[in-house]
């Protein structure tokens, strides 16, 4: 193990990461501290590369012919109901189930999300360079939330009254990882329309990861986000169980005396102008969410094959700027849909969501 | 002492969970009013910076605005769930619990 404090990256150490992870899990406190410190430095080193990329008119070329399958490097931490990140290592890559459902769900969920991005899009982790995946569970006390903090995917246990633990939903785990992907590619500003696009992309990929895992076609999927997160005390609509959001029918996910009614619009006519929620990033994401749902229905089959690919290509498109609005995003998806002979289907989807790009608005 | 508390953000926007909470120590039981003032003092509330530099990274974090008026002074701060200061965490836990109690027992309109 590296004893020198000047070595900040495991590439300079004799011990490879998989041995360091085993020590972090099974060593004595002193050994675990040192191993974790080195692993964290490696992770930090890689994470520092995540950040604003200089805009370029040159499309990013990914030589898929030369890519080999990256190794998943998952580390699950527990915050032990504190708010200190990342917490203590409880499960490292390749280690057996811990017996703690939150730990094991986070581990499996991050793995499923990694596998999806690799198998479907040839993307090697968050940064497409094999960034280790770190998740923290048992964050806070009765904490009813999950978030991406720029380095870690963090999950609370819920309050047991309204919310279950947030690792129960695969699409929620994938949603958070996808924020890292969006941050790596485009850094869509997290406010107003660009923020709603940021949120929508996470819902899109979150839902696709779940559909891929369940081998569901677009017609078979429920298109719900966080369907497992609410307890049975929370009321849905039309006799359905409550969910956090619905891409199929934004505004219908819940209608509850305590939570209120799902505020998401599905059409641009109902766009919510608000200062709340960073300008409504979780509210107005309903509009691009619904557009994706409609595009996937129009195209048919598995949603990740064409619709998901179009949306992913648009995320990578250097013409997508951090301050992009819905209309610009729609334009780019339509442009990217041409390569998949799905221009008509995608255009129809956006039109039905109330967005008609200028070139077509004649 | 008056305290205004407003949560925002998170994985989803739930109208009923993001309502502001307003507390007036004069309307609280004496013991609770004393506890609230103690939390404010231990956090050195009036000496805190109002707004922490927000990172360009991250998503779905919950954030909170706390504004306190006490006699002739007032101050506000904004903090997130990743706040490490234990005294601020204690204040936040108290205010979150009070807001939860208010949800369960809404004031008659």
For B43-66, the pLDDT digits (tens) are: 999 999 887 656 668 999 999 999
What average pLDDT is seen over chain B?
Answer: 88
Q: In this complex, which of B11, B61, B83 lies closest to A244 when CB atoms are compared?
A: B11
B13 is a domain residue: yes
- What is the average per-residue pLDDT within A214-239? 96
B29 is a domain residue: yes
Q: Which of A189, A259, A322 to mutate to test the interface with B (most CBs of B within 10 A)?
A: A259
> Residue B29: is its pLDDT beyond 80?
yes
Q: Check residue A328 and give its pLDDT.
A: 97
B109 is a domain residue: no
Which residues in chain A are closer than 8 Å to B104, comparing Cβ atoms?
258
B89 is a domain residue: yes
**How far apart, in whole angstroms, are the C-alpha atoms of residue A196 and residue A144?**
21
Q: What are the residues facing A240 on neighbouring strands?
A: none
Distance from CA of B77 to the nearest CA of A (A): 17
Q: Check residue A50 and give its pLDDT.
A: 52
| A150/B58 Cβ within 8 A | yes
**How far apart, in whole angstroms, are the C-alpha atoms of residue A271 and residue A264?**
9
User: What CATH class has A192-355?
Assistant: mainly alpha
| A202/B89 Cβ within 8 A | no
In 3D space, the residue among A238, A328, A311, A161 whose CA is nearest the CA of residue A251 turns out to be A238
> Residue A31: is its pLDDT beyond 90?
no
For chain A, percent of residues with pLDDT exceeding 70: 80
Instruction: Write down the architecture of domain A17-40+71-168 according to CATH.
Output: Roll (3.10)
Q: Check residue A25 and give its pLDDT.
A: 60
Q: Check residue A18 and give its pLDDT.
A: 61
Q: In this complex, which of B9, B16, B59 lies closest to A259 when CB atoms are compared?
A: B16
Q: Is A205 or A3 the better-scoring residue by pLDDT?
A: A205
What are the C-alpha distances in Å from A89 to residues A81, A98, A135, A148? 14, 11, 10, 18
pLDDT band at A71 (very low <50, low <70, confident <90, very high): confident
> Residue A355: is its pLDDT beyond 60?
yes
| Number of domains, chain B | 1
What average pLDDT is seen over chain A?
Answer: 87
> Residue A10: is its pLDDT beyond 70?
no
The two domains A17-40+71-168 and A192-355 share their CATH topology (first three levels equal) = no
What is the extent of the structural domain holding B65? 2-52+61-104
The bridge status of strand A224-225 relative to strand A146-148 is unpaired
| B89/A147 Cβ within 8 A | no
> Residue A252: is its pLDDT beyond 80?
yes
In 3D space, the residue among A286, A278, A218 whose CA is nearest the CA of residue A251 turns out to be A286
Q: Check residue A137 and give its pLDDT.
A: 98
Q: Check residue A212 and give its pLDDT.
A: 98
pLDDT band at A357 (very low <50, low <70, confident <90, very high): confident
Q: Which of B13, B58, B61 to mutate to test the interface with A (most CBs of A within 10 A)?
A: B13
**pTM for the model:** 0.85
């Amino acid at each position: 193990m590296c004893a020198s404090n000047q070595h900040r990256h495991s590439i300079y150490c004799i011990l490879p990461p998989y041995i360091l992870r085993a020590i972090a899990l099974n060593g004595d406190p002193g050994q675990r501290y040192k191993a974790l410190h080195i692993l964290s430095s490696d992770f930090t080193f890689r994470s520092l590369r995540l950040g604003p990329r200089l805009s370029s008119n040159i499309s990013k070329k990914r030589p898929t012919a030369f890519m080999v399958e990256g190794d998943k490097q998952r580390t699950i931490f527990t915050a032990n109901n504190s708010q200190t990140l990342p917490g203590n290592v409880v499960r490292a890559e390749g280690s057996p189930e811990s017996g703690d459902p939150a730990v094991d769900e986070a581990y499996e969920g991050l793995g499923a999300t990694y596998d999806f991005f690799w198998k479907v899009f040839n993307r090697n982790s968050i940064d497409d360079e094999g960034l280790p995946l770190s998740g923290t569970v048992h964050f806070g006390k009765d904490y009813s939330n999950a978030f991406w903090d720029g380095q870690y995917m963090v999950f609370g246990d819920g309050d047991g009254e309204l919310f279950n633990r947030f690792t129960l939903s695969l699409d929620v785990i994938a949603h958070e990882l996808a924020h890292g992907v969006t941050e790596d590619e485009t850094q869509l500003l997290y406010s107003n329309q660009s923020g709603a696009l940021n949120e929508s992309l996470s819902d899109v990929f979150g839902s696709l990861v779940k559909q891929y895992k369940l081998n569901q076609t677009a017609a078979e999927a429920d298109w719900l986000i966080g369907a497992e997160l609410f307890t049975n005390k929370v009321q849905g609509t039309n006799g359905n169980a409550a969910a956090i959001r619905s891409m199929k029918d934004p505004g219908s996910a819940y209608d509850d005396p305590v939570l209120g009614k799902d505020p998401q619009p599905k059409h641009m006519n109902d766009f919510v102008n608000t200062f709340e929620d960073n300008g409504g990033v979780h509210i107005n994401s309903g509009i691009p969410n619904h557009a994706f749902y409609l595009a996937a229905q129009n195209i048919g089959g598995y949603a990740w094959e064409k619709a998901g690919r179009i949306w992913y290509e648009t995320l990578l498109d250097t013409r997508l700027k951090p301050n992009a609005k819905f209309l610009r995003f729609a334009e780019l998806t339509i442009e990217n849909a041409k390569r998949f002979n799905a221009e008509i289907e995608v255009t129809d989807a956006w039109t039905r969501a109330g967005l008609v790009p200028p070139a077509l608005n004649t | 002492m008056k305290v205004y508390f407003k949560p925002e953000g998170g994985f989803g926007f739930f109208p009923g969970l993001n309502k502001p909470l307003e507390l007036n120590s004069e309307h609280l039981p004496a013991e609770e009013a004393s506890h609230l003032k103690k939390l404010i003092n231990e956090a050195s509330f009036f000496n805190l910076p109002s707004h922490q530099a927000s990172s360009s990274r991250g998503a779905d974090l919950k954030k909170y605005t706390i504004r306190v008026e006490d006699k002739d002074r007032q101050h506000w701060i904004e903090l997130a769930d990743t706040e490490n200061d234990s005294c601020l965490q204690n204040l936040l836990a108290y205010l979150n619990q009070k807001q939860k109690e208010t949800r369960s027992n809404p004031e008659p309109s």
